[in-house]
């Protein structure tokens, strides 16, 4: 390994260790040499460094002759001079090596030619010059004068020279300063819900779907119901993960079931539960009755609407209890609910109700004029699938008049006995547990069979509520 370093490089390595007080092990590791090899360089410099001050072989005998004639004082000055010259030599070598960075080739030749202090005369005027032939006594006097001159205190190196020495030594690598990473700008969570191709502002949404068996009655009713389910699925799929939602199914007067007891995070798992529930709803009466009860029924929900709130208002009361920003209501022909499925307790708060007339189609007034009977039959034919029609016209007429609510009065005139929808709306408003400014934006999509309409009090109150909540109302949005 030592053959890879020149004599100058070995000297530089040893001097660096001495000047900067670098431990032997650290200096050896730095330059990739063994500690024994570095120690041998160090010892060689200490033991043989003085020889560079020896004069050339041609003056050996004269030098010895001069030394023999030196007194004790001369020897003292000579020793002092040796150490002083050694320091000057070190300083000179360092100075030359520093200039080596600017003129490398020239300085290398000059350094390699240095064998003794004689060659440093031009650079250092204070250095010892060799005596000339035949002037031994003058050489003696000259040597003494030189020693006295060298013994004088020399000025300390200037600050610029110290800097040159530091530049010569190996400098530690600079520590990289990392650049500042710009702050991450967090994007605002999406605040948008898409439904039927339109975007609505809001993060908390409740979907309200009418699943009474009456939604399957009438031509095109099954198709409209399936399209309603598809619209719900499409909207739920597009919900942002930062949104919250719930799915509420309602039917008859006071029946509901919800996907969760509280509003739910729109995670993939919760959205899957909602979609599975919607797609499981059958398109016949018996399967629909079973499939709509899969999750939390009204008994397990926190919302407990007061008596007198029925139909769509009962479903809306449940939806509003989740404190949403948006409510989408997909409603069907609820006034045609199956009376046999509704207990009498659900009519409380609606005033006096004649349950015999309400739940039975008997005692129809036989004096209803022919035009009314014919109109009722045609209406029933229009809203009822062919497979569900009775076998004869008498049964069709009876079912049509029953569905329309015609009963016998004391005067023998036809009387229609609808529910008190206006009273139900007033009760709904008075039972709201939130201020009117916090009512969610409500959008109602009403799907009805052809030639069928809601009772005016119910229809008008729904329109009024959606307008007041800054929402919208649309009739038969799934029909061409």
Question: What would the pLDDT profile of 128-187 be if each residue is shown by its tens digit?
Answer: 444 445 555 555 556 656 555 655 545 555 555 555 555 555 555 566 566 656 665 555
Tell me what percent of the residues of the chain surpass a pLDDT of 90: 37
- For residue 322, the model assigns a pLDDT of 95
Tokens 């002083």 sit on residue: 84
Q: What is the mean pLDDT of residues 110-139?
A: 47
Kindly report the backbone phi and psi dihedral angles of residue 244, in degrees, each rounded to the nearest multiple of 5, phi listed first: -130, 150
pLDDT class of 84 with cuts at 50, 70, 90: confident
3 state SS of 366:
coil
State how far Cα 353 lies from the chain centre: 59
pLDDT tens per residue across span 367-403 = 577 777 888 888 888 878 777 787 788 888 888 877 7
Give the mean pLDDT of the chain. 78
Going through 282-399 in order, the beta strands assigned E by DSSP cover 296-297, 326-331
DSSP string, 155-207: PPPPHHHHHHHHHHSPPPPPPP-PPPPPPP-PPPPP-EEEETTEEEE-SEEEE
Q: Cα separation of 307 and 8, whole Å?
A: 107
- Of the listed ranges 12-16, 101-105, 180-184, 323-327, the least confidently predicted one is 101-105
Q: What is the mean pLDDT of residues 238-243?
A: 94
Q: What is the CA radius of gyration of the chain?
A: 55
Cβ neighbours for 219, distance < 8 A, ≥ 6 positions apart:
382, 383, 384, 385, 449, 450
pLDDT tens per residue across span 85-103 = 788 888 878 777 776 665 5
Tokens 């300063």 sit on residue: 177
pLDDT class of 2 with cuts at 50, 70, 90: low
Q: Which of 213, 453, 210 is nearest to 341 (CA)?
A: 213
pLDDT class of 34 with cuts at 50, 70, 90: confident
Copy the structure tokens of residue 247. 């799915």
350-362 burial code (b ≥16 CB/10 A, e <16)? beeeeeebbeebe
- For residue 475, the model assigns a pLDDT of 93
Tokens 């009361």 sit on residue: 317
- For residue 248, the model assigns a pLDDT of 97
Kindly report the backbone phi and psi dihedral angles of residue 435, in degrees, each rounded to the nearest multiple of 5, phi listed first: -65, 160
Which of 62 and 210 is assigned the larger pLDDT? 210
CB-based burial label for 198 (10 Å; 0-12, 13-18, 19+): exposed
The span from the first CA to the last CA of the chain, in angstroms, equals 94
Pairing of strands 326-331, 441-446: parallel
pLDDT class of 415 with cuts at 50, 70, 90: very low
Residue 462, pLDDT > 60, answer yes
Copy the structure tokens of residue 30. 């730095």
**Sign of the torsion formed by the C-alpha atoms of 340, 343, 349 and 353:** positive
Q: Cα separation of 238 and 302, whole Å?
A: 28
pTM for the full model? 0.55
- For residue 120, the model assigns a pLDDT of 41
Tokens 């529930």 sit on residue: 277
Tell me what percent of the residues of the chain surpass a pLDDT of 70: 70
């Amino acid at each position: 390994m030592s053959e890879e370093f020149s004599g100058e490089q070995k000297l530089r390595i040893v001097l660096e260790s001495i000047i900067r007080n670098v431990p032997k092990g650290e200096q050896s590791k730095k330059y990739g040499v063994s500690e024994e090899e570095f120690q041998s360089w160090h010892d060689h410099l200490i033991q043989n460094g003085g020889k560079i001050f020896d004069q050339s072989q041609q003056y050996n005998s004269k030098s010895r002759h001069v030394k023999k004639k030196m007194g004790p004082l001369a020897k003292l000055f000579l020793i002092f001079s040796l150490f002083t010259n050694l320091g000057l030599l070190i300083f000179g070598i360092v100075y030359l090596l520093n200039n080596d960075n600017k003129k490398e080739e020239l300085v290398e030749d000059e350094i390699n030619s240095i064998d003794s202090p004689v060659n440093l005369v031009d650079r250092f005027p204070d250095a010892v010059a060799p005596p000339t032939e035949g002037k031994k006594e003058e050489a003696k006097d000259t040597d003494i004068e030189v020693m006295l001159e060298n013994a004088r205190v020399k000025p300390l190196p200037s600050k610029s020279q110290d800097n040159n020495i530091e530049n010569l030594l190996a400098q530690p690598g600079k520590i990289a300063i990392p650049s500042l990473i710009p702050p991450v700008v967090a994007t605002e969570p999406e605040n948008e819900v898409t439904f039927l191709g339109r975007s609505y502002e809001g993060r908390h949404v409740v979907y309200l779907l009418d699943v009474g068996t009456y939604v399957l009655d009438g031509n095109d009713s099954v198709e409209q119901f399936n399209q309603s389910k598809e619209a719900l699925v499409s909207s739920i799929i597009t919900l942002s993960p930062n949104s919250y939602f719930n799915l509420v199914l309602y039917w008859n007067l006071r029946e509901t079931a919800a996907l969760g007891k509280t509003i739910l995070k729109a995670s993939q798992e919760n959205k899957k539960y909602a979609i599975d529930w919607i797609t499981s709803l059958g398109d016949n009466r018996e399967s629909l009755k079973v499939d709509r009860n899969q999750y939390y029924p009204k008994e397990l929900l926190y919302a407990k609407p007061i008596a007198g709130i029925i139909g769509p208002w009962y479903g809306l009361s449940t939806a509003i209890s989740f404190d949403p920003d948006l409510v989408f209501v997909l409603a069907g022909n609820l006034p045609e609910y199956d009376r046999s499925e509704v207990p009498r307790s659900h009519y409380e708060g609606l005033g006096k109700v004649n349950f015999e007339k309400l739940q039975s189609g008997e005692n129809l007034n036989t004096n209803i004029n022919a035009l009314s009977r014919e109109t009722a039959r045609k209406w029933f034919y229009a809203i009822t699938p062919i497979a569900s029609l009775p076998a004869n016209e008498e049964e069709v007429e009876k079912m049509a008049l029953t569905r329309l609510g015609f009963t016998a009065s004391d005067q023998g005139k036809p009387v229609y006995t609808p529910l008190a929808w206006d009273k139900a709306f007033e009760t709904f408003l008075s039972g709201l547990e939130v201020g009117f400014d916090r009512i969610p934006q409500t959008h109602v999509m009403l799907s009805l069979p052809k030639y069928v309409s809601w009772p005016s009090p119910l229809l008008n109150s729904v329109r009024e509520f959606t307008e007041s909540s800054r929402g919208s109302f649309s009739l038969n949005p799934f029909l061409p």
